Structure 1
Amino acid sequence: MSRRTTAHAGPAGSLEDVLERARRVPPVAGFPGVDALLAWFGALAADHPGLVRERRIGTSRLGEPIPMVTIGSGPRPHLLFAGVHPNEPIGFRTLQHLASELVGDPDLLAASDATWHLIPCIDPDGTRLNEGWFADPADRTAYSRAFYRPAPAEQAEWTFPFAYRDAWFDDVIPETQALMRVIDEIRPELMVSLHNAELGGVYYYLSEDVPGAVPALHAVPRALGLPLDVGEAESPAIRSIAPAVYLMSSTRDEYDYLDSLGMDAASMVGGDSSSAYASRHGTVSLVAELPYWSHPLADDTTPTSADYADVVRAKGEAMIALGGTLVGLLDEARPDLTIRSPFLRASEAFVPMTAELGRSEVLRAERPGLRRPATAAEVFSNEDVVRMFRLRWGGMLLRALDAEVHAGLATARVHRVAARAREVYAGWTAEADSLTGLTVLPVEQLVGVQYGATLAMSRVLADRAAGRGATS
C-alpha cells in the first residue's frame, strides 16, 4: 500500500491535500489476519530502521505479545490503535496505509510535526475469532455467522477503571493495561481509537467540540462520495455536536440516563473508555465509525408518516422479544454446556442485555417530546438495529453451541437446542437478506475516511495550538 511523493492539491497538511490523499487510497481487498498484519509491520520496521521503531507494549490474555510501531520524532504525540473491537478490522488497513504514507512521503511526516505511535492490533485473541470472514466482508450473513465480539468485561475499549455513584469497575484486562501504560507514557495530543459500524453511513465521535473539526470531518466522506449517517444515535445518552458528529460516548452519561428511566444503572454499565482515561492528559480523542454496507436511507432526513415515539417503542418491543428468544435457547442448553468458550461468555452477557436495552427503549418512548414525525433515516436505523442484534447475538450463540457439537461433547438436549437455534437464525438471515438497496462499500473508501479524518484532526489541533482558525 506504499506510495511515493507526488504532487498534491495543496501544501502538505492543508485540507485540500488531506482530501486528495484520502481519495488516493489504492484498491484493497478484505482484511489481514493477525499474523499477516503483525508480519507486515515487522517488515516495515526492519526495512526502515532509522525511521520506524517497534517494541512490545503488553501481552494478551492468551499470551500473545502486543507490539507498537513508532514513526517519526516530532513534538506532537499521536496514538492510534486498531482491533479495539475485533469485529471491526477496517482500522488494520487504515494503519497499514498511514504507516506506508508516513514512511514513503517525507512531506507528510514533516507537515504533521508529530510522532506517530501505531498499535496494529490491541486484541489479537478476539481478532483471530473473526478471521473467518476477513477475506470477503461483502456478505452480511456470512459476516454474522462468523462474528465474534467479546463480552463487555473483556473489551479493551470498555474496561478502563470507572467509579461513579454505586457503580464500580476495576477488573482491567491486560490489553487495557497495555493501553493505559502507553497513554500515560506518551500523553497523546491526538488519540484515534479505530472502530467501525456495519450498515448505514459515516459518523464520528469527538471527546470535545474543537473549533474547525466539524467542517473538516464532514468534508472527508463528502470527498469520497460516502453518506453521513443521520439516523439514530447508538444511545440516547449520547449528545450531538452536529449532524453525524457526537460527543464521545460516556459511561457516566449512560449511567445517568439509565437511572433517569428508573432502571438499575449500576448493573447495566461496566468500565470506562480509552477517551475518558486519556482526558487526564488533555488528549483529544477521535472515532470515525464506518459501515461495510451503505443504504440510501442512511442520510435521508425526509419526514415520514411514522411517529418517532412509535418507532422507538417498536424497536424496544422487538428487542425484548429477541432477548426472550435467545434467553430461552441459552437457558435450555445451559445445564449441559461444558465449554466456557469466548462465544458462550459473550452470549451470557449480550443475550440478557438485549432485553434490558429493549425495556429502556420502551420506557424512553413514553417521554415527552418524542411525539413528532420520524425521519426516513431514523425509521431505517431503528429497524436495522434489531436486524443487527439478531444476526450478531444469534450467530454467536450458534458458535457457542457448535463448540459443544464439534468437540463431540453435545448431549441430545444441546443438539435439539442447536437445531432449533439454526432454524430461528435462518429466518432472521432470510429477513435481513430481503433488505434491498444495500451497497457494499469499497474497503479503500472506508480506509480513506479514517485516514483522512485522522490527518484532518491533526491539522485542526495544530491550528488550535498555533492560535489560528482552521484554514485550507
Structure 2
Amino acid sequence: MFHCAVSTDSPSPLLRYPTVDELGARAAALAALHPGRARLRRVGTSRAGTPLWLLSVGHGGRHVLVVAGPHANEPVGGATALRLAERVLADRRLREGADTTWNLLLCLDPDGSRRNEGWLAGPYSLGHYFRNFFRPGFLEQPEWLPEGAGGAVLPETRALLDVQDELRPFLQCSLHGVDIGGGFVELTRDLPGLPQRLARAAAHLGVPRELGPYDTLYWPTLGPAVYRIPPPRPGDLTAALTEAAVDSTWFHPHAYGTVTAVVEAPMWGVRAVEDASRPADADAVLRTVAGTLRRDTALLAGILAGVRPSVSAGPDAARLLAAVDDYVLVAPGIADSWEPGTAGARRLPPLDTARLTALALSARRIALRTAGLLHQLVRRAGDGPAGVLLRLDRLIDAWCADYRDGHGARWIPLGCQVEYQARVVLAAFDLAGRQARGDPGSGPPRMSRAGR
C-alpha cells in the first residue's frame, strides 16, 4: 500500500467511495447546513431516471465547473467533489476573494456508476474490482460527442452541454480515475506552472506521476505528467481512443475561453510509470507487450464466441456485451500499431521505461476488463458453458497477480486519492484564474495550504 505522507483529515472523512445516492444526500446536507452559500439543483435526469445534481457554492461572477463521474468505474471524482465543496465553504478566499462560484456536478453517469457498486465498499483488491467492474460502451459514455453537440442524444450529455452553455466557466475540471498506474492531467489550453504544482502534490502524497500514459501516447507534453489534448478530428474508433481527441464536452466550452483540465487520480499505483530511464532493448519489450495483447484478446474472443448464445438474454446483457465487443474490436488494431517495424510503431514517441510500462499496463487492462465483464455475464446468466467461469477466474487471478507481482501495483488509500485530486484542481483553479485575468503575476489572495 502507498503511504499518504500528510494528513487528509476532512470534516466528513471518507473511508470508502460514496454511492450515487450518498453523493446526493451529502450534498443536500451541505446545502442545508450552509443555506446562504450553497445550493443544490437538479440539472437533468439520467436514462434510468436518476437526478443529475449540481451543487453550487458561492455567488461570484466567474464560474468553475467540476464534473465528477464521467466514467462509471472511476468513483474518486464524486468523493473529490464533496471534498472541494467542504474546502470552498471553509475558505471564503476561494469564493468571494476570487469572485468565483464553484459548480460541482456530482455524477455525470449515475446509471453506470450504480453498476459498479458491487466493489465500491471494498475489499479493495484487484480481483474484486475487475470481477465487479462496469464501463459502458464508447457510444454510451456521456462526455463524448461522436455526432457533435447538435447530435448529442444521451440525456446526461445534453444536461452537461446545457450547464456549460449557461455557466460559460473559465475552468472546467473533469475528474477521472486511473485504475492502475499514476496521476496525470490533460489540458485543452496550457496552464504554465501546473506540472510543478502537480509534482509537489504527488510527492507529498506518495502518488506516482504517469510520464507516458497510454491515453496521451500521441499528444504533446506540456511538462512531466501534463499533456495537451489535441483539437478533435474525425477518425475510426481505434484512432479516437488512442491517437486523437474525438469531439467532446471537454472542447464544447472552448469558444467561451474555458480551459478544461482532465484530472486523473490512480487507485493502484505503479512506480515504474515515472521511470524515465531507457531500457536496453525497447523493441523487444514492445514486441512482448503487443504479442501479449494480441494473444489475450484472441483467447477472450474465443470465450466470448462460446458464451454469447447462452448469456445474450441475461440481465443487462446488452450493455455488458457492448463494452466487451468494444474491447475485442479495438485491441487487435492497437496491438498491430505497437508491433516494432510497422508504420504505427514508427510513429510512437521515444519509448522509455515509463511509456513501456504504461503500454504493458494498458494491454493487461483491456484483457482484465474484458474478462471481468465476461465473468459477470456468465454469473448473471447462470447457465454458461461448463467450466467457463472457472477458466475466467483463473485468467483474472493470473493477470491480477501480474499487476501485483510483476508491476508492483499497490493500493493508494482513498483519502490520498481524493486529496491529490483536490489539490490538483485547486492548483488549476489558481493558475486558470490568473490566466483569465491576463495577469500571470497576480492572483486571488494567497491560496489555502490545500491548493499549493
TM-score range relative to shorter protein: 0.7 to 0.9
How many Å apart are 1:75 and its aligned residue?
1.4
Q: CA deviation at 1:333?
A: 2.0
Structure 1's 330 and 159: CA in aligned 2 closer, same or farther, altered over 3 A? farther
Corresponding residue of 2:291: 317
2:158 matched residue in structure 1: 177
Quote the residue 1:283 is aligned against: 258
1:80 is paired with a residue of what secondary structure?
strand
Conservation of the 8 A alpha-carbon contact between 2:336 and 2:344? no
The answer for unaligned runs of 5 or more in structure 1 is 1-21, 164-168, 259-264
Letter in 2 for 1:65: P
SS of 2:53's partner is strand
What is the rounded CA distance, in whole Å, between the counterparts of 1:210 and 1:54 in structure 2? 30
CA contact (8 A) 2:218 2:348 kept: no
One-letter identity of the residue aligned with 1:303: R
Question: Within 5 A, what are the aligned runs for 1:325-404?
Answer: 325-336=299-310, 337-339=312-314, 340-362=317-339, 365-366=342-343, 374-404=351-381
Q: 2: CA distance between counterparts of 1:364 and 1:241?
A: 28
CA shift in 2, pair 1:453/1:346, >3 Å: same
Q: Distance in 2 between matches of 1:44 and 1:160?
A: 36
Task: Give the distance between the partners of 1:135 and 1:426, measured in 2 at CA.
Answer: 20
Partner of 2:90: 104
Aligned residue number for residue 409 of structure 2: 438
More deviation in 75-84 or 47-56?
Answer: 47-56
The aligned counterpart of 1:6 is none
Aligned residue among 423, 426, 444 for 1:452: 423
The one of 180, 189, 204 equivalent to 2:170 is 189
Structure 2 CA distance, aligned partners of 1:72 and 1:384? 41
Calculate the TM-score normalised by the size of structure 1.
0.83
CA–CA separation in structure 1 for the residues paired with 2:260 and 2:7: 24
RMSD (CA atoms):
2.9
**Paired residues for 1:211-230 under 5 Å:** 211-230=192-211
C-alpha deviation, 1:442, in angstroms: 2.1
SS in 2 for 1:205: strand
Q: CA deviation at 1:270?
A: 9.8
Identity, % of aligned positions: 31
Aligned ranges 1:25-174 → 2 under 5 Å:
25-26=9-10, 28-136=14-122, 138-159=124-145, 161-162=147-148, 170=151, 172-174=153-155
Which residue of structure 1 lines up, in the alignment, with residue 399 of structure 2? 428
The residue matched to 1:50 in structure 2 has which SS?
A: coil
Q: How many residues align?
A: 432
Q: Deviations over 1:142-174 (max 9, x none)?
A: 1111111111111012246339xxxxx935311
Counterpart secondary structure, 2:185: strand
Cα shift readout 1:324-369 (whole Å, capped 9, x = no counterpart): 1121111222233213342222112222222222223227754686
**Contact 1:213-1:457 at 8 Å conserved across structures:** yes
Distance 1:352 1:370, change over 3 A: closer
Instruction: List per-residue Cα deviations over 1:186-226 (Å, max 9, x = no partner).
Output: 11110001101122222111111133333333333234343
Alignment check: 8 A CA contact 1:197 1:292 kept: yes
Residue of structure 1 in register with 2:3 after alignment: none
Contact 1:82 1:193 in 2 (8 A): yes
Distance 1:181 1:85 in 2: 19
Task: Give the corresponding residue for 1:234.
Answer: 215
Q: Which amino acid aligns with 1:315?
A: V
Hey, what's the Cα distance between the residues in 2 that align with 1:463 and 1:132?
A: 42
**What CA distance in whole angstroms lies between the structure 2 residues aligned with 1:303 and 1:455?**
34
The one-letter amino acid of 1:74's match is: G
CA 1:127–1:470 in 2, change beyond 3 Å: closer, same or farther?
A: farther
Aligned match of 1:297: 272
TM-score (norm 2): 0.86
Task: Give the secondary structure class of the aligned counterpart of 1:227.
Answer: coil
- CA distance in structure 1 between the aligned counterparts of 2:321 and 2:238, rounded to whole angstroms: 29
- Residue in 1 that maps onto 2:181: 200
* Helix, strand or coil at the partner of 1:196: strand
Give secondary structure in 2 for the equivalent of 1:132.
Answer: coil
Deviates more, 1:78-87 or 1:447-456: 447-456
**Which ranges of structure 2 fall in alignment gaps of 5 or more residues?**
1-5, 447-452
Letter matched to residue 301 of structure 1: A
Task: Give the conservation status (yes or no) of the 8 Å contact 1:299–1:377.
Answer: yes
Change (3 A) 1:423 1:368: closer
Q: State the shift of 1:251 in Å.
A: 4.5
